[in-house]
Amino acid sequence: GVALVGIPAGICALGFTGAGIAAGSVAAKMMSAAAIANNGAVAAGSTVAVLQSVGAAGLSLGAKVGLTSALGSLGAAIGGQLF
């Protein structure tokens, strides 16, 4: 549960927001570097593009299900080792 809230909050803190990439942020620097590397464009599916998508719309249902499954299993394994 913490990851499902924390990951989007962390992405927003980097500057990937619902209104776009925040000026002067880490996200802006990442986008600039990506654009320079790709002759002025940011490639679809790149790290910057994916993070902006998450920042604008949040995690997809598939990502939420995957994170919940993985983190739930990890939590159960750790709990089993501790107790």
Q: Provide mean pLDDT across the span 43-68.
A: 75
pTM: 0.59
pLDDT at position 4 is 65
Please tell me the predicted confidence (pLDDT) of residue 65.
Answer: 65
Query: Given a cut of 70, is residue 31 above it in pLDDT?
Result: yes
| Res. 47: pLDDT tops 70 | yes
The count of other CB atoms within 10 Å of the CB of residue 2 is 7
Q: Where are the domains of the chain?
A: 1-37, 45-82
> Cα 65–70–53 angle (5° rounding)?
50
What pLDDT does residue 10 have? 83
User: How does pLDDT run across 1-24, given as a tens digit for each residue?
Assistant: 666 677 778 888 888 888 889 999
| Secondary structure in 3-state letters for the chain | CHHHHHHHHHHHHHCEECCEECCCCHHHHHHHHHHHHCCCCCCCCCHHHHHHHHHHHCCCHHHHHHHHHHHHHHHHHHHHHHC
